[in-house]
Amino acid sequence: MGKKPYKMIWEALFINKFGSFANNISLAWFWARIVKRTPSLAYPKGGFLEFAKAITKKKLRKGR
């Protein structure tokens, strides 16, 4: 990733989440946590826009 993207994207998040321990957190460990948890975060297939469209379509079919 490099230093610039880390500073732009992750640094503030790490500082807010881990405080004074932010520099001791392995990015490889953190990325592994994200990858492991992602399937269990319950994102709708196709994203939230597709989910909203499906709900709207069903409601319109039912006349509500």
Q: What CA–CA distance (Å, rounded) separates 7 from 52?
A: 34
The SS3 of residue 7 is helix
Residues 10-37 pLDDT 10s: 899 999 999 999 999 988 888 888 887 7
In the chain, domain spans: 3-62
Average pLDDT score, the chain: 85
Q: What global pTM score does this model have?
A: 0.49
Which residues touch 40 (CB under 8 Å, ≥6 apart)? none
Count other Cβ atoms within 10 Å, centred on residue 11.
Answer: 14
| pLDDT value of position 56 | 92
